[in-house]
Structure 1
Amino acid sequence: MQHLLHLDASARRRSFSRELGARFARNWRAAHPGAEYTHRDLAADPVPFITEAWTEICDELLRAGITDPARYPSALRTDTQRAAWAIVSPLLDELLAADTVLITMPMYNFSIPASLKAWIDQVTFPRMSLAGTRFVVIAARGGSYLPGTPRAEVEHQERYLRHFFAGHFGVTDAAFVAAELTNTVVDPTLSHLADAHARSHADAIAEVDRLSAEAETVTEAAR
């Protein structure tokens, strides 16, 4: 059975990234009636930062050569490690159960929100592979960070996640969508860029629709 894990990371209750993510999830669920769907709001219900006990678990996994998530609990030796695992376990179960992971986020200070980084740190273990999982990342950015723009070199949002997904998880199927120049709706000094934002937003909507339709096609081909 198909399973979508949907993660929201925007501190805003109403945001461009949440709006686009909800559209993808709605399309995906309509295309997969009866499929599993899990939604986690990382801003409203923050994941704790990792602790020393978490690092101890990683050390034990490395020493024991454990790569199968089902064997992770065998590395727990102390009460603090078990308490750390109680935080990790439901997050990891959600991730491992998903065929598709949808991440929506704003750009904060050229990078990803701390709430998303905390989730990544909690669910990432040595030699862990998610090679068969599809990731769809939908971002909103106050300015423009496209190739060729003055701020392209400080785009550490998509670049970081692309390197991380491929380099650590072995992910080969990752799609990225970004609505840019969102600050034009609140900053009068950017009003001259309002049309560029509108085009970027419209392009993002079209890409979300394409990706959610593509997900249906991929699923049908796999049956």
Structure 2
Amino acid sequence: MPGLLHLDASARSRSLSRRLGARFADRWRAAHPDAPYVHRDLAADPVPFIGEAWTELCDEVMRRGLTEPRRYAEVVGTPAQRAAWAVVAPLLDELLAADVVLVATPMYNFSVPAALKAWIDQVTFPRMSLAGTRFIVVCARGGAYQPGTPRAAVEHATTYLRDFFDGHFAVTEVDVVAAELVNSLVDPRLADRRAEHEASLVAAEAEVDRLAARAVVAA
């Protein structure tokens, strides 16, 4: 039975990225009412940043050439490493159990929130493959950063996530949905672009629905 891991990273409790993520999750869960579902709010319940003990675990995984994540616990030795592993283990279990990982995030200062990066760092080890897992990224951006726009080159949120999931985890299915110009709702300088934001949101919602329907068919 397929499982969904749903991550929220926005500092706002009523953010647009949360709204889009919930839209996907609601449709997926309606189609799989008995399937495993885990929602982790990385802003409300932050994952700690990695420390030196985590780096020791990472080094030992490399030394032993371990490629199976479920064997990583074998490298734990010192009390500090046990404490580090106590943080990693439940996060890694949730990730490995998921067939679909939904990442709902804003773009902050051209990149992903620190809360999301902290989660990524905790669950990532050398030569770790998640091939076969599907990643859905839904993102809200304050300005316009889509390909072909003047600021496209500084969009380091969805491009980073796509490149990382593909390049490190060997994931071939990474779908990205982004709503643009969210700041037009609050910034007077962008007020004349509110119609663009609204069109972008409508398109994002339609794409979320399409991806959710596709996930149901694939399952």
Q: Give the deviation of 1:128 after TM superposition.
A: 0.6
Q: Hey, what's the Cα distance between the residues in 1 that align with 2:168 and 2:125? A: 9
Q: Give the deviation of 1:53 after TM superposition.
A: 0.3
Q: TM-score when scaled to structure 1? A: 0.97
Pairwise CA RMSD: 0.6
Aligned to 1:54: 54
Q: Give the deviation of 1:42 after TM superposition.
A: 0.2
Q: Hey, what's the Cα distance between the residues in 2 that align with 1:13 and 1:93? A: 26
Q: Hey, what's the Cα distance between the residues in 1 that align with 2:165 and 2:128? A: 11
Aligned to 1:119: 119
**1:151-201 deviations in Å (ceiling 9; x for gaps):** 011011111111111110000001000000000111111111010000000
SS of the residue aligned with 2:67?
A: coil
Q: Give the deviation of 1:33 after TM superposition.
A: 2.1
What code does the residue aligned with 1:192 have? D
Q: Hey, what's the Cα distance between the residues in 2 that align with 1:130 and 1:188? A: 44
SS of the residue aligned with 1:169?
A: coil
Q: Give the deviation of 1:70 after TM superposition.
A: 2.0
Aligned to 1:129: 129
Q: Hey, what's the Cα distance between the residues in 2 that align with 1:39 and 1:47? A: 14
Q: Hey, what's the Cα distance between the residues in 1 that align with 2:55 and 2:27? A: 39
Aligned to 2:79: 79
Percent sequence identity over aligned pairs? 68
Gaps of 5+ in 1: none
Q: Hey, what's the Cα distance between the residues in 1 that align with 2:153 and 2:89? A: 37
Aligned to 2:104: 104
Deviates more, 1:66-75 or 1:48-57: 66-75
5 Å-filtered alignment, 1:1-223, equals 1-219=1-219
SS of the residue aligned with 2:168?
A: helix
Q: Give the deviation of 1:9 after TM superposition.
A: 0.1
What code does the residue aligned with 1:67 have? T
